[in-house]
Amino acid sequence: MTTFQWLVTVAAVCTLIAPEGRLYAQNEQKYKVFLDMSYSGNTWQAAAANGIKALAATPPYDKMIEFKTIISGTDVQRQISDIQSMIAAGAKAIILYPLSPTALNRVIHQACSKGIVVFTYDSTVTEPLAYNVSNITARYGANTAQWMVNKLGGKGEIIFNHGVAGTAVTKTYDEQAYAIFKKYPGIKIVGDFYGNWNDATSQEEVSKILAAHPNVDGIWTVDGTYGSLQAVVQNRPNRLVVIAGQSNNGYRLMMADPALQAKGLQGISSSAGPAVGGYAFKVMMEVLLSKKKLTNHNVEYPLPWVEAKDIKMCSGDRFEGGCNVFPEGKVPPLFLDTALDPKFLPELSLDAVQTGNPAAGAMVQPLPDPKYADNLPGINCQECKAPADALEPNLVSPIPVAK
C-alpha cells in the first residue's frame, strides 16, 4: 500500500473507534455553555469575562451547566471557526463578544437554527435570531455631549478623544456627540485624536494638544478618560477641565476630590461597563431555562451615569448602600467600577470580578423584566429604522442655544 492509502486507512479506523465527543463527555443533565471572547488582555474584557465566569460557577448554575471559555483572538474568521466548533461540540448556549456586527451573521444563524441560544454582550450583531444585550442604544454620545455643553454654558474649547476607528461603537457615539456640539456655535473642537480606548495613548495625545491649546475647557472621551485627565493634571494642574468618560475607580476618586473640584474639575462617569457581560449571561440563562421569553431580541442595559455629587465611598468589598467607588489602594486606578452592578448582579463581589471565582454563599437572583432597546440599523438590526430622535439626549435636558 502506498503512504496515502495507509493514511486513509488510519483515518477511517480512527473514525470508527473514536468515542463520540470524547473530551466533552455528554452529560444529559448539563447544558453546554460557551463564552467566546475576541479581544482579551485588557481591563474591560477581563472584568466582563470574570463576571460571567463567576456567575457560571454560582449555585444553582454551577450544577446545571458545563461552562467553557474560548478566546478566538482578533481575526473574525477565527471567531467564525470557533463558533462552528462550538456547534459541532453540542453547545446549547453561546455568549460572545462579536468582532463585527455583520460578519458573524451566517454562523450565528446556523447556530440559532440548531436551537442554540446565542447572546452578545456590549458589542452587537444584526442577525435577527441572536439576542443583543448592550447599552449602545442608550445614546452615550448624545447624553455626555449635552451634559458637557450644559456645564460649559454653551461655549468653550473641547478636545475630542475618539475610540478605535472602524468600529460601529465609535461611529455611533461620534455621530451623536458631533451632532450635539455642532448645535452650539460657542463650542469649538480644537483638537481630536484616536485614543483607541487606551489610557497611555490618550495621555500622550492630550498633553501634546494641550501644549498648543492652553485654554482647553473640556475633553470628551469614551475611554482613556483617566489618561486624558492625567495629562491635564500634570501639565496644567491649576486649571482642570469638564470631562466625560469611563468609570475607572481612579477617575471617580478624582471626580469626587474637593481639591480637584476647586481647580475646575467637573466629571461625569458613564460609558459601557463590564457588568453588561454578567447581565447578558443571566438573561441568557433565564431564556435557556425557559424562565423568560423575550419579545424583542435587543435588550438595553442601563447606561451608568454617575456625577460627582453621586459618588459615595465603599467601606467593604461590595457596592452596598448606594456606594460606588473604592478607596485608593484597594483597587488599581484603572479598575472599572461598572464591573459591579448591585441592582442586577448582587451575586458578584469584588473578588469575583477580579478572579472569576464565585462569591462565597452567593445564589443567583432572578432578574426583573428587561428593557428593550431602540433599533439602530447596522448595529442591532438589518431592515429597520432608527427612531426619529436617535441623535437626541434622553438623560439630560439641553440648555437653549445662545443667540
Partner 1 sequence: MSQSTRGQRRPIPSSAFAALLYGIMFAIYLLYSPSAITLAGITDLLNNTIVLAIAAAGLTLVILTAELDLSSVGVIAVTNVIVATVSTKVPGGAFITLILVCLIGLLVGLINGWLVAFLGLQSLAATLGTMIACQGVALLILEAPGGEVAAFIMNRLTDTVFGFMPVAGLILLLAVAGWLLFRRTRLGIAIYAVGTDALAARLSGLNVKATKWLAFGLAGMAYGLAGYMLGAQTGTGDPRISNSFLLYVFAAVAIGGTPLGGGRGGVIGSVVGAGILTVMQKLLFAVGVAEFYTNIFNGVIMIVAILFGNLSAILSLRQKAIMSQHRDGQLVPN
Partner 2 sequence: MNDILTRSLVSSRTFKPETLTALLVLLGAVLMMLAMKVLNPGFGSVQQIAAILTTSIFLVVAAYGQGLVILLGGIDLSIGVVMSIAGMMIAGLTNGSNEALTWALPVTLISCTAIGLLNGLGVAFLKIPPFIMTLANGTAFFGVALGITAGSSQRTVAPALQVLMSAQIGGIPVPIVLIGWFLVAGSVLQSRTTEGRKIYAIGSSLAAARVAGLPIEALTIAAYGVSGLCAAIAGLLLAGYSSSATLDMGDPFLMPTIAAVVIGGACVTGGRGLYFGTFAGAIFLSALSTIITVLSLSQGWRNIIQGGIIIIALILQTKQWYLLSIVNRQLPGKQSLDGVLPQNSEV
Residues that bind partner 1 (CB under 8 A): 7, 10-11, 14-15, 18, 20-24, 37, 68-71, 73-78, 80-82, 84-85, 88-89, 100-106, 164-168, 170-171, 378
Identify which of residues 135 and 266 has a Cβ nearer to partner 1 in the complex.
135
Q: Residue 229 burial by CB count (10 A; 0-12/13-18/19+): exposed, middle or buried?
A: buried
Residue 261 site contact among partner 1, partner 2, none (CB < 5 to 8 Å, cut-off depends on kind):
none
Q: Hey, what amino acid is at 266?
A: Q
Q: How far is the CB of 180 from partner 1 (least distance, A)?
A: 19
What's the rounded Cα separation, in Å, for the pair 284 and 328? 35
For residue 137, give the H/E element and its range: none
Q: How far is the CB of 360 from partner 2 (least distance, A)?
A: 19
Hey, what long-range contacts does 368-374 have (CB within 8 A, 24 or more apart)? 370/283, 370/292, 370/294, 370/299, 370/300, 371/299, 371/300, 371/302, 372/295, 372/296, 372/298, 372/299, 372/300, 373/132, 373/134, 373/136, 373/137, 373/296, 373/298, 373/299, 373/300, 374/137, 374/298, 374/300
Given candidates 26, 77, 234, 315, which one binds partner 2 under the rule CB under 8 A?
A: 234
Region of 122 on the Ramachandran plot (φ > 0 left; ψ -120 to 50 alpha; else beta): left
The region of 121-129, 135-143, 288-296, 329-337 touching partner 2 under the rule CB under 8 A is 329-337
The widest CA-to-CA distance across the chain, in whole angstroms, is 91
The number of residues that bind partner 2 (CB under 8 A) is 48
Contact flag: residue 123 with partner 2 (CB under 8 A)? no
Identify which of residues 135 and 230 has a Cβ nearer to partner 2 in the complex.
230
Of the candidates 89, 91, 90, 88, the one whose C-alpha atom is nearest the C-alpha of residue 119 is 91
Q: Report phi then psi at 31, rounded to 5.
A: -85, 140
Q: How far is the CB of 16 from partner 1 (least distance, A)?
A: 9
> Could you give the angle at which helices 140-152 and 168-183 cross, rounded to 10 degrees?
30
Q: How far is the CB of 89 from partner 1 (least distance, A)?
A: 7
Contact flag: residue 201 with partner 2 (CB under 8 A)? yes
Contact flag: residue 192 with partner 2 (CB under 8 A)? yes
Given candidates 40, 100, 261, 382, which one binds partner 2 under the rule CB under 8 A?
A: 40
Which sign does the torsion angle of CA 192, 194, 196, 202 carry? negative
Contact flag: residue 226 with partner 2 (CB under 8 A)? yes
Identify which of residues 167 and 261 has a Cβ nearer to partner 1 in the complex.
167
Given candidates 90, 302, 333, 398, which one binds partner 2 under the rule CB under 8 A?
A: 333
Q: How far is the CB of 261 from partner 2 (least distance, A)?
A: 20
What's the rounded Cα separation, in Å, for the pair 30 and 386? 40
**Residues 337-356: x/- map of binding to partner 2 (CB under 8 A)?**
-----------------xxx
Q: Which residues bind partner 2 (CB under 8 A)?
A: 40-43, 45-47, 49-50, 71, 162, 165-166, 189, 191-194, 196, 198-201, 203-205, 207-214, 226-227, 230, 234-235, 250, 329, 332-335, 354-356
